[in-house]
Structure 1
């Protein structure tokens, strides 16, 4: 219900003044903590089981490549359809169902680890299920956020959402690493509890305004319509593919397990620290933007941020010192968050609401290609060159991507503000954004 305060009387309220957005943040944070705690331990168990089974570090890195591939393939196949699901069906319901499936995965892995029945086959099977779940979860949650606040404060809301995301990435790996050191099944147990909290938070979100799908009525036509928009919009296409190539090539995070186990020799505790370091840098950057939103020269700054990401990745690859490695990874996370903040703001503000689910699915597909696909590529490269050299080569590739994309997509280096084109300069009425009081 409306509180009687209008924008013209007292100005725009902050994102946290909306209950729907607060509940969304809780759900996003708890889901990310549980998800990243699970992902770290799945990677660690895969690598250690392979090493303990007699594989050398090259062959064990190949198992990490397989884990990444098994998570990426479902995303690759299903993402076009999952975007349509996010646009055609209630995004809250889709989000709630996908978090429930993640809960089931956590319970399964907790039981298998506790009973000592965990093996590579089970880890690979759960990786496939998580890939399917994330294919539908990502577009639904991403498309939901812009409907919860007025357009003018969307960049602030994106920054806060990114804080929840990155803080989850900090807490998740640290929680997973330290909890695993106490009891191997504990990370999965804690993840299950966090997923339950996320489900409850999503349930409290009230009615969410949205725009109906326009244009082609057949599902395949609607999918094609969404992808056509991505391809034809040079801003959206350039921003999405810049992240795709840079992170795909410079996938240092995929190789934390061999670095912790063989190169730096820091064990589970060091693994947690390595995984948390880039997320700390990312969270600090997101927190800064939540108070000091970026307003000028957004395109050039995004390109410079990706370049810094590549340089820091190269430093991490060369390092054999834990403090230097942590510092390099802090910069990796800060630079990545800088570019994520700009990219997500540009994509959301340059996309009509009725296409946001499908555009988010295209974005998710590239993110998955860069993350899970990048994990597979980095693992494969490490199985040939070794983990350290694979990271260094990836960092060089990220720098080459920046140079190339600044020429292929001049709109990126020429974009100065987040302002959307005039035809998208519409907002949902303030009354429709009021939350349901629980």
Structure 2
């Protein structure tokens, strides 16, 4: 099934551009976090980097969804890649000339967050138009595998190259941004279905919110992921763990950032070959609970190897939830609404990741680094139990097939 997917030229170009864009993003994020901690030595400021990336996603949620449904999605992604390239150049020049400080990093994070606000829903909306629906779950898993490869390679490469200087990392990011733009430009326009530009009304703007609200299983899946990662994630605090708990340098931080993606890559490759066929709901809830337990182990570990294993397990368990959630959304959403629905989904993802980083930095400044992650991991397990009560039909969901529900 994977080989048949890769024979589709437009999907292949999309796949390559996604890898390049994700590599660029991950390399920049690990170096930006390291530079911020070098400058301020503050867990709170690490959280502020995540908040700066989340604010544009929150402010532009309804706008980006409508844009993705009304305009050429390929061109939108090209503009987003160009925005990431511009941020990389800005960071490179600022580092070379010595004026890159706390405020400049936060400004770059805000600009990066703006590009990502448009990029994520547009990517999610474009992919289903490039492959037949019969292979969509496999394409989603394959796409996730490519992204996770980039999530692995990006931080590790960035951490090692940083020893040659941050400007070198940012320069390589800029070059990869160029390749991402070129691959996007090669996507054939006739591969995507024609976009029907419905009139802009208040109802059409909020259609994505209404659509998800009326599909309780989709709402339960994305909100479970939101709160689980919001409280259970420890990404923002990895520079602190690397330096003060595990006593490793930037190379160690790069490996820590890569570890969750290693676990996610293994699972995504497996699911691309053997997609989930039954007990979808139970597998999702179980994987999120195990994600919380693995985070708990990471928080208490003082051994670098054990920390890497625990983080890899968080990525593996999270990937099960990701594939279930994305498949539910894409299979049940009409193409004309995918941009708006994906935008709402993106705000949930952004809240769980970027807002979660701010939450981690804030609670770490209150309770300490290790206690804050222990509290968050415990909260994740409690959320699973609560969501089972709130969304009983979700845990009993058997298969990833479209359901008949009101719009």
Give the TM interval when normalised to the shorter protein: over 0.9
- What is the CA distance between 1:164 and its match in structure 2? 1.1
Q: 1:48 aligns with which of 38, 41, 44?
A: 38
Taking the aligned partners of 1:363 and 1:225, their CA distance within structure 2 comes to: 13
8 Å CA contact 1:213–1:355 kept in 2: the answer is no
Does residue 24 (structure 1) correspond to residue 35 (structure 2)? The answer is no
8 Å CA contact 1:210–1:354 kept in 2: the answer is no
- What is the CA distance between 1:184 and its match in structure 2? 2.0
Taking the aligned partners of 1:128 and 1:135, their CA distance within structure 2 comes to: 10
Q: Max radius of gyration: which structure?
A: 1
Q: 1:306 aligns with which of 280, 288, 302?
A: 288
The residue that corresponds to 1:194 in the other structure is: 176
Tell me the TM-score normalized by structure 2: 0.97
The residue that corresponds to 1:209 in the other structure is: 192
Taking the aligned partners of 2:170 and 2:59, their CA distance within structure 1 comes to: 27
The residue that corresponds to 1:65 in the other structure is: 47
Q: 2:111 aligns with which of 119, 129, 138?
A: 129
Taking the aligned partners of 1:364 and 1:226, their CA distance within structure 2 comes to: 11
Taking the aligned partners of 2:335 and 2:387, their CA distance within structure 1 comes to: 27
- What is the CA distance between 1:212 and its match in structure 2? 4.5
Count of residues in Structure 1 that have an aligned counterpart in Structure 2: 405
- What is the CA distance between 1:222 and its match in structure 2? 1.1
Change (3 A) 1:29 1:12: closer
Structure 1 stretches of 5 or more lacking a match? 1-10, 52-59, 425-438
Secondary structure of residue in 2 paired with 1:417: coil
Q: Deviations over 1:220-242 (max 9, x none)?
A: 32111121111111121111111
Aligned positions of 1:317-356 closer than 5 A: 317-356=299-338
8 Å CA contact 1:139–1:357 kept in 2: the answer is yes
Change (3 A) 1:302 1:213: farther
Q: Deviations over 1:261-304 (max 9, x none)?
A: 11111011110111111110000111111111111111110111
- What is the CA distance between 1:115 and its match in structure 2? 2.4
8 Å CA contact 1:316–1:329 kept in 2: the answer is yes
Tell me the TM-score normalized by structure 1: 0.90
Aligned positions of 1:27-426 closer than 5 A: 27-51=17-41, 60-207=42-189, 208-210=191-193, 212-213=195-196, 217-421=199-403
Taking the aligned partners of 1:13 and 1:129, their CA distance within structure 2 comes to: 37
Structure 2 stretches of 5 or more lacking a match? none
- What is the CA distance between 1:79 and its match in structure 2? 1.4
Taking the aligned partners of 2:193 and 2:217, their CA distance within structure 1 comes to: 23
Taking the aligned partners of 1:275 and 1:13, their CA distance within structure 2 comes to: 30
- What is the CA distance between 1:422 and its match in structure 2? 5.5
Q: 2:5 aligns with which of 9, 15, 28?
A: 15
Which one is further off, 231-240 or 370-379? 231-240
- What is the CA distance between 1:132 and its match in structure 2? 0.9
Taking the aligned partners of 2:360 and 2:8, their CA distance within structure 1 comes to: 41
Instruction: Please list every run of at least 4 consecutive aligned residues from structure 1 whose deviation after the TM superposition is greater than 6 angstroms.
Output: none
Secondary structure of residue in 1 paired with 2:206: helix
Taking the aligned partners of 1:286 and 1:12, their CA distance within structure 2 comes to: 12
Q: Deviations over 1:164-209 (max 9, x none)?
A: 1111100110111011112221111111111111100100000233
